[in-house]
Structures are given as C-alpha cells and as structure tokens.
C-alpha cells in the first residue's frame, strides 16, 4: 500500500519551501552608471544623497573627486562615472552619492542615479560570461557577482567591498570639528 500525503501537508510543505526561498532573497540597491544598471548589497548602504547636498571641501584627483562630510564623518568620494568611462561635462540634478559602509571604511560613490531597491535570490543570478577574458585578468574582476534578472531588466551585481578595494584609496574616517 502506498502512502499518500494529505493535501494540507503538501500545502504547508510548499509554503515552507517558498518561505525558505524568500528568506534567501537579498535586497540590492540599483544604480545607473554609463547607461547600465548595477546592483549592490543594500546592507552596505549607509545613506543616499544628491551630490549637491554634500559639503565638499576638497575636489582634486582623477577618480577620487575629493572628500566630503556626512553625519560628521570626513570621507573620500569616488566618482564611479570617471572609473567606468569619460567624465560627464557637469553634474546632472539626478547625480547621486551612495554613502557606503564598507568593511574597511565609510566612503561615498558618485553614480549617474539611484533607481530602486530590488530583491534577488541566488537562483536569479547568472554567472558573468568571461569567455574572452584572459586567465590573468579573470581574478581581477572577482568583484562581479553575476547578472541578475528582475522585471525584464538585467542588473550587473557587484561585490562593493571587492570593487572598492581594487585600488587602495585613503579610507580613514575622521570626525569633523
């Protein structure tokens, strides 16, 4: 005699499996940079600010566009628009600064704009195709976690700690006077 499970048991099992899948979903902040959509772990975001609202008191360097004060902390500001392409002629009103709380420091990252927050599961992430990448270069792009698909959009998911550690930036937070 075969054992048949009760429909209520099947339903509760399906709910438990769905709940586990939802529990493994992580929230990602989506931002635009050079016409592409990127996503980073929302847990690394301290705050979002329009670029014009930051109190900047230094502005020199190629990628490091200066330092700024946010909540009394002096931090470097990295202009990702320069790192990922030619510098735009001027700041757009949509230009945002993502204040990141990384494992090693607090810093700001200038992007074209923040669009939204999405939830992604590991099943929604596909590996980055690195077929044309020489083996010596592949370890240098380990900050790319994968391509996420949400609502018909493709998001390049990055490990922001690894991305920001590629080039060592002076990253010691200091208290403003």
Q: Residues 28, 155: contact at Cβ < 8 Å? A: yes
- pLDDT at position 136 is 55
* pLDDT tens by residue, 21-73: 444 889 999 999 988 999 999 999 999 988 776 655 555 555 556 777 777 87
3-class DSSP string for 55-108: EEEECCCCCEEEEEEECCEEEEEEEHHHHCCCCCCCCCCCCEEEEEECCCCEEE
């Amino acid at each position: 005699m075969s054992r048949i499970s009760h429909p209520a048991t099947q339903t509760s099992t399906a709910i438990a499996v769905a709940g586990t899948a939802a529990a493994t979903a992580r929230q990602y902040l989506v931002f635009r940079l050079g016409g592409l959509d990127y996503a980073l772990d929302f847990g690394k975001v301290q705050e979002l600010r329009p670029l014009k609202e930051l109190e900047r008191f230094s502005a020199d360097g190629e990628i490091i566009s200066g330092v700024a004060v946010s909540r009394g902390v002096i931090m470097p500001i990295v202009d990702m628009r320069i790192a990922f392409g030619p510098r735009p002629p001027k700041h757009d009103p949509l230009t945002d600064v993502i204040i990141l709380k990384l494992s090693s420091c607090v810093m700001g990252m200038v992007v074209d704009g923040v669009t939204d927050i999405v939830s992604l599961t590991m099943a929604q992430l596909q590996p980055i195709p690195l077929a044309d990448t020489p083996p010596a270069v592949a370890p240098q792009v380990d900050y790319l976690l994968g391509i996420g698909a949400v609502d018909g959009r493709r998001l390049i998911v990055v490990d922001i700690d690894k991305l920001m550690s590629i080039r060592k930036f002076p990253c010691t937070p200091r208290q403003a006077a």
